Structure formats: structure tokens, C-alpha cells
Structure 1
Amino acid sequence: MISAYTAVTERLSRADWLLPTLARLVFAGTLLTYFWVSGLTKLGGGLVGLFQPSVGAYAQIFPKAMEAVTYDTSQLSLYHWAVVVAGTWAEFILPALIVLGLLTRLSALGMIGFIIVQSLTDLIGHGGFEHKETFGAWFDRFPDSVILDQRSFWIFVLLVLVIKGAGPVSLDNALRGRSTQT
């Protein structure tokens, strides 16, 4: 029994392709659509909406600043516009790069930063600290808080990609193979 267990676990230890491939699959299955739909809510109308975010985009990212200017985006600075546009684009570009396995480590690192900023915005800007069930607590037997529980799993999946890379079924791997041939 022990030798069978050892044989199986040794095979799994050598399966370097498995963990990053599954991490990208889990990300695609659970978070790709979440971020893309969130990004869509931030776009303004038409093609110029890529550069003119919706009022809701500003309200999601800078809730207290928007409240202070009574939701008039013209009173916000170039900094606010740049952050909202960059954040909106990041919600489309970074998840797509992760799923394709292109610049995976850098994209996963960018998503980790995005999730940290998103979480801080939810806690500080949207009052998440006031709702204990939103913030949650580790080791409390309730695995359903949005911030500490769910987002720690998101970050863990992304950390796998930062550490292990995209795996063999990826554009990173295809480009690496191509560059070693030339």
C-alpha cells in the first residue's frame, strides 16, 4: 500500500505541467467572466467609451471622491480619469493574457495588485469594514466572506502562476520554444 502511494505521489511531483495548467483553467472558469463583466460596467457609450468611462466606473473606483463632487466627473482630476481608464482596461487585458498564457507571470502579478486595490476600495471606499461579513475573518469556520476568504483564494491561484508560469499549453511556452529554435 505504501509503495503504491509513493509511486503515485512521485508521479504527481514530476507533473510540473499540471498545477499551472489547472490554475489557468480555474481562473478562466471562475474569474475571467467576473472581471470582463465588471469592466463592461465601466465603459462609456460607443467606441469612445474606452477612453470616456461611465459615471459608474468613477463611482466604483473612487466612491468617496464621487460623492464629494455630487457625481459630476468633470470636477475630478486627470489622475482620476487615468486610474479609471487603466483599471477598466486591466479588467479586460490581464485576464485575457492569463487565459492565453501570454506574459503570464507579469499578468498574474498585475491581477494580484488589482485585487488588492479592489479589496481596499471595497473596504475603505465602500464601507466594507463596517460589515463584518464582507471583510470576514480567517479561522472562523465561515468560508464565505468576500474579502478575506474569496479573494485569498483568487490571489493563491494567481501566485501559482507567478511562481510556476503558464504551463506547457500556453503562448508563453510556444514563444519560448520558438525563441530557442532561432
Structure 2
Amino acid sequence: MTALISLHNAVFDWLDRHSGLILPTLARFVFAAVLLVYFWKSALTKVGSGVLGLFFPSDGAYVQIFPRAMEAVSYDSSQLGLFYWAVALLGTWAEFILPALFLVGLLSRLAAIGMIGFVILQSATDIIGHGATDATTLGAWFDAASGSLIMDQRTLWIMLLLVIVIKGAGPLSLDRLMGRLS
């Protein structure tokens, strides 16, 4: 029994000592495997047509971000003002840039904080703007179901992002490389 306890202690002491290397690396890998393509595909639906599409969001961007405002103007985004354009533009860019920064581990903590804010705004837009209030989509904490889109999945997304906020990007990151160069 003593040998088993010693083995247990040795393994978990090693994990404790190396958690700053293991957790951020796994968190960034899981983000890339599960959420990176999700965010980039979503961003692509917001890009306008042509070469200047990155500066002129598509109508789909406005519908996704401002569903009620678009309905009020009969889905004609040209009737929305500068504020709506700026938010749609910055939201589109954020969906490309923040996951990319997170992926390569550059300004990772700030990118993770930005992604957390993005996920919270995305959830609020889904609930308030799109009316996602049915129990299956909205879900609830501390219930038997674990697959709701908003309360369950997005809570896990935020927890994953918090690992990077707390621990940093880990050893395989541009943050670490730049820290060693400076």
C-alpha cells in the first residue's frame, strides 16, 4: 500500500510542478481542435463581397449581430448608421484575429479575455436578439442535461479560455519565444 501511495504522490507532484506547461498547451490545442474553425467560419459569413469585403460587412453580419435592428429596417443594412457598421466590422475582425492570436500564442492572455467578452456578447445576442430562450438552447446549470448551447457549452468555452488568462500561453507560444528574446 505504501508503494501505491508513493506512486500516487510522485505522479501528481510531477503534474503539479508541470501544470504551467501542460494546461496552457492543452487548452490551446483543444481550442484549435474544437472552436477555431467554428469562429473563422462564422467570421467568413460576415465578410462582404469583393476585395474590400473586410471593410464592408455583409448583410448577414448585421443580421447576426443586430437582428432586431435589421428587422426594423426591413433587412436593409444601408439604413443603419456608422455605429452599426463599426460594431459589425470590429466584430468580424475580432472573430478572425482573436482566435488566430490565441492559436499562435501571441498576446494570449489579452486574446483570451477578448474571446471571453466575445462569447458573452454572442450569448447575449442569441438570447436577447435572436430569442434563444427555449430550454434546449438556453439550458440551465445544475440540471441533468449537459448539452445546451448557451449555458453548458459556452461556460466550458469560457473555462477553457480562463486557463490561458490565468496560466499564460505555455511553452509552445510566441509569447514565450518573445519573452526569451527580450
TM bucket (normalised to shorter chain) is over 0.9
1:81 corresponds in structure 2 to: 85
Instruction: Give 1:127's aligned amino acid.
Output: G
Measure how far apart 1:132 and its partner are.
1.4
Structure 2 matches for 1:83-98, cutoff 5 A? 83-98=87-102
Measure how far apart 1:110 and its partner are.
0.2
CA distance in 1, matches of 2:144, 2:168: 32
Measure how far apart 1:23 and its partner are.
0.3
2:21 corresponds in structure 1 to: 17
Q: Which runs of 5+ in 2 are unaligned?
A: none
Q: Answer yes or no: is 1:110 the counterpart of 2:118.
A: no
> Which deviations, in whole Å up to 9, do the C-alpha atoms of 1:81-119 show, x marking residues without a partner?
000000000000000000000000000000000000000
Measure how far apart 1:74 and its partner are.
1.2
Give the total of aligned pairs.
178
CA distance in 2, matches of 1:56, 1:170: 34
- Equivalent residue of 2:45, what SS? helix
CA distance in 1, matches of 2:151, 2:48: 31
Measure how far apart 1:54 and its partner are.
0.7
2:67 equivalent among 63, 70, 76? 63
CA distance in 2, matches of 1:64, 1:37: 23
The TM-score normalised by the length of structure 2 is: 0.97
Measure how far apart 1:147 and its partner are.
0.2
Q: Which runs of 4+ in 1 moved over 2 A?
A: none
CA distance in 2, matches of 1:117, 1:53: 18
1:99 corresponds in structure 2 to: 103
1:146 corresponds in structure 2 to: 149
Measure how far apart 1:46 and its partner are.
1.5
> Which deviations, in whole Å up to 9, do the C-alpha atoms of 1:156-177 show, x marking residues without a partner?
0000000100001100000000
- Equivalent residue of 1:88, what SS? helix
2:52 corresponds in structure 1 to: 48
> Which deviations, in whole Å up to 9, do the C-alpha atoms of 1:131-179 show, x marking residues without a partner?
1111101111111100000000000000000010000110000000000
Give me the CA root mean square deviation: 0.5
> Which deviations, in whole Å up to 9, do the C-alpha atoms of 1:29-54 show, x marking residues without a partner?
00000000000000011221101111
Instruction: Give 1:108's aligned amino acid.
Output: A
Q: Which runs of 5+ in 1 are unaligned?
A: none
CA distance in 2, matches of 1:46, 1:154: 33
